[in-house]
Structure 1
Amino acid sequence: MGFHVNSETGRLRRVILHRPDLELKRLTPTNKDDLLFDDVLWVRRARQEHDALADALRDRGIAVHLFGELLGETLAIPAARALVLDRVFDEKEYGPLATDVLRAAFEELPSFELADVLVGGMTKREYLERHPEPVSVRFHVMELDDFLLAPLPNHLFTRDTSAWVYDGVSINAMRWPARRRETVHFEAIYRHHPLFTGAEAGGFHVWSEGQSAYPSTIEGGDVLVIGDGAVLIGMSERTTPQAVEMLARGLFAAGSARSIVALDMPKRRAFMHLDTVMTMVDGDTFTQYEGLGMLRSYTIEPGVGDSELKVADHPPEHMHRAIAAALGLDGVRVLTPSQDVHSAEREQWDDGCNVLAVEPGVV
């Protein structure tokens, strides 16, 4: 059997992690909001915590694939390198005078150095330390420390940019500009890296083709594969109803899933993804932030025709009932920490309900 994810709580065998690096050092109090961070980070401590997590996973026999290594190896493949550079260096971003010059300069970089720059970013000053200034209005108006290529600190959250759903992967169109370049990196990896093109991968579906789907956006933190052919999706500030419908159509057409339960989430940053307020820890058990409450939900199932969908609307009080029905259960167990409202809100802000199950009942 090839690569697949049959349940959030099945035994985890492989994972893609990204080790914090230059991109997080680029965060400042001035740019953190644009880069979707609430504060600057202590990068050395972040690396230590990342390494501890990676070691803990390896100790359980889980293969840890580092995103930076995958990207560097992928960029050594000419077709993959061309895919990435063609998408990044676009006239709509850099103008007709600078685009070809910049692309040629980045084309010269060794694969792993190119990977570092694509993720860590590059300022105008750093570019000029290596290359002459191109004749370009777009380039001339930049300050020396402006980013010619913005850093991508959100690559830390590898779950969001792609999501494995049963026997395929969704390469996601991201909601905010700060994350959209992440998508092409994963598209290149899944299309060209030997790990995913070789026999071990076994062939897999691609449920979404990347940023071209925009404005139909979906992010992996909103997608929970709950098992038994069911998927739970949060329609948050970053995942749109139309993206849910498109994913459902693809899954059903391939016979890979039989139902999707979509939750109508609050469109606020505190609830940016479903996994920040609700995660699955066992076959019938979920953690849930108390402040989430009960939400209106929609069960989507295959319709009569190949492209038709059948939708059932459920009132908020039936949210858990709809999830249980999708799993073929009489009910689900929901674990909500007993805390005062202020403590609960602080815990949720730090993703207190966002846990990773490495096997049933083990987080």
Structure 2
Amino acid sequence: MGFHVDSETGRLRRVILHRPDLELKRLTPSNKDALLFDDVLWVRRARQEHDGFADVLRDRGVAVHLFGDLLREALDIPEARHLVLDRVFDEKEYGPLATDHLRAVFDGLDSAALAEALVGGMTKREFLERHAEPVSVRFHALGLDGFLLGPLPNHLFTRDTSAWIYDGVSINAMRWPARQRETVHFEAIYKHHPLFTGSGPFHTWSQGQADYPSTIEGGDVLVIGNGAVLIGMSERTTPQAVEMLARGLFAAGSATTIVALDMPKSRAFMHLDTVMTMVDADTFTQYAGLGMLRSYTIEPGGGLSDLKVTDHPPEHMHRAVAAALGLDSIRVLTATQDVHAAEREQWDDGCNVLAVEPGVVVAYERNVTTNTHLRKEGIEVIEIPGLPLIHIFEGHPRSGRASARPCTFPYHGWSVAGGGGRVCGGA
């Protein structure tokens, strides 16, 4: 059977992580806001912490695939290389005078150098050290240290750019310009890398950045099992994207229910997995400040593309999730602490944990109160320092359930390689 993610809490089998590299070295006090970071990271420490996180997963029997390796290997395949270069070097970005020249130069790079430039970026000065200058107003007007290709430090959060949902993958249209180029890299990997082309057929639930402004990010998507998906409609995931995803999942018979939560539209509540994640078959951890939200249950309608929507008041939020799981109720774990302490732990992704098997989660060691509370409630907590990032793509189905969620908080922050939760796809 091919890659599959049937739940957030089954035994985790595979993940995709991105090890911090050149793109984080390009992060500066002057560009960090545009690149969606709250601070400039210490890259050496980030690598150490990321490597430690990867080792924790490997020690639990999880196969860790590095995004940089997958991209480089995909770029060895002509069809994948052409897909990426055609999408990146567009006249609307570089103008008609420079586009063909730049595309030809980058096409001449070996796959390792091309992958580094695509993710780490390249300045005009670096380009001119090795290549001829195109006759182009757009190129001439760029300062020597300006980025010809901007860096993509958010690739660290692998879960956001794509999300495996049951027997298919959603290659997501990203909300902010700083992340929109990421999508084509995963598109090339899923369409052309042997890891995926040789795994058996799978569905593609979205059309990538072409779906913009209908945007959805993986940190808002939780595959909760029983054919159900829980989605946060945040500042980065739109209601229309939820409807489009529902239509595709229902038409394929891959899911039966979507519960959409109407989240606050603010950076503090960036993605659903920053405030609510699943830790066992019937158990969630939830940030106290989230409160109860208006929710919408979406189910197949009468026709092939029809959708039935049931609107729930905020006080019925947990009831709606339980019903989607076929349960009378769900267990929601929220640590008791004052409002200031709770806000600090939420900012540090206290509720954004990664389940590696039912009732066993990876969490940041700094969130002492939340981790202690989870342990008291019978959840095994594996603590890691710092902030890693992850993306899960294979969890191993087990009676309708599988595992997979990136430990991510980066998707939240800068945490798990995948942000918010899961690997590239499966479970």
From 288, 301, 304, the counterpart of 1:303? 301
1:336 corresponds in structure 2 to: 334
1:319 corresponds in structure 2 to: 317
Give the deviation of 1:343 after TM superposition.
1.0
2: CA distance, partners of 1:338 / 1:153:
35
1:351 corresponds in structure 2 to: 349
1:169 corresponds in structure 2 to: 169
**Deviation per CA, 1:141-162, whole angstroms, max 9, x where unpaired?**
1111111100000000000000
From 218, 221, 225, the counterpart of 1:220? 218
1:6 corresponds in structure 2 to: 6
User: What RMSD in Å do the two structures reach over aligned CA positions?
Assistant: 0.6
1:257 corresponds in structure 2 to: 255
1:126 corresponds in structure 2 to: 126
Are positions 1:94 and 2:104 aligned together?
no
**Deviation per CA, 1:175-204, whole angstroms, max 9, x where unpaired?**
000000000000000000000001xx2210
1:283 corresponds in structure 2 to: 281
2: CA distance, partners of 1:45 / 1:56:
17
1: CA distance, partners of 2:268 / 2:102:
38
2: CA distance, partners of 1:148 / 1:349:
33
1: CA distance, partners of 2:95 / 2:26:
25
Q: Secondary structure at the match of 2:205?
A: strand
Q: Which amino acid aligns with 1:130?
A: R
1:189 corresponds in structure 2 to: 189
Q: Write the mapping of 1:67-106 to structure 2, written as runs, cut at 5 A.
A: 67-106=67-106
2:231 corresponds in structure 1 to: 233
1: CA distance, partners of 2:257 / 2:100:
47
Are positions 1:25 and 2:29 aligned together?
no
2: CA distance, partners of 1:54 / 1:71:
18
Give the deviation of 1:54 after TM superposition.
0.7
Q: Which amino acid aligns with 2:183?
A: T
Q: Secondary structure at the match of 1:208?
A: coil
1:107 corresponds in structure 2 to: 107
Give the deviation of 1:299 after TM superposition.
0.1
Q: Secondary structure at the match of 1:71?
A: helix
From 244, 247, 256, the counterpart of 2:245? 247
Q: Which moved more, 1:339-348 or 1:175-184?
A: 339-348
Q: Which amino acid aligns with 2:16?
A: I
Give the deviation of 1:352 after TM superposition.
1.3
2: CA distance, partners of 1:112 / 1:204:
28
List gaps (5 residues or longer) in structure 2: 362-427
Q: Which amino acid aligns with 1:187?
A: E
2:398 corresponds in structure 1 to: none
Q: Secondary structure at the match of 1:101?
A: helix
Q: Which amino acid aligns with 1:248?
A: A
Give the deviation of 1:209 after TM superposition.
1.5
1: CA distance, partners of 2:333 / 2:96:
56
2: CA distance, partners of 1:291 / 1:245:
27
2: CA distance, partners of 1:168 / 1:219:
15
List gaps (5 residues or longer) in structure 1: none
1:53 corresponds in structure 2 to: 53
2:159 corresponds in structure 1 to: 159
1: CA distance, partners of 2:144 / 2:276:
44
Q: Which amino acid aligns with 1:169?
A: V
2: CA distance, partners of 1:11 / 1:248:
26
**Deviation per CA, 1:314-336, whole angstroms, max 9, x where unpaired?**
00000000000000001111111
Q: Which amino acid aligns with 1:220?
A: G
1: CA distance, partners of 2:258 / 2:178:
29
Q: Which amino acid aligns with 1:146?
A: G
1: CA distance, partners of 2:338 / 2:24:
33
1: CA distance, partners of 2:110 / 2:54:
27
Give the deviation of 1:39 after TM superposition.
0.4
Give the deviation of 1:90 after TM superposition.
0.2
Q: Secondary structure at the match of 1:358?
A: strand
Higher RCO by CA contacts (8 Å cutoff, separation 6 or greater): 2
1: CA distance, partners of 2:140 / 2:348:
41
2: CA distance, partners of 1:27 / 1:302:
45
1: CA distance, partners of 2:180 / 2:73:
21
2: CA distance, partners of 1:193 / 1:213:
23
1: CA distance, partners of 2:110 / 2:23:
19
Which structure carries more helix by proportion?
A: 1
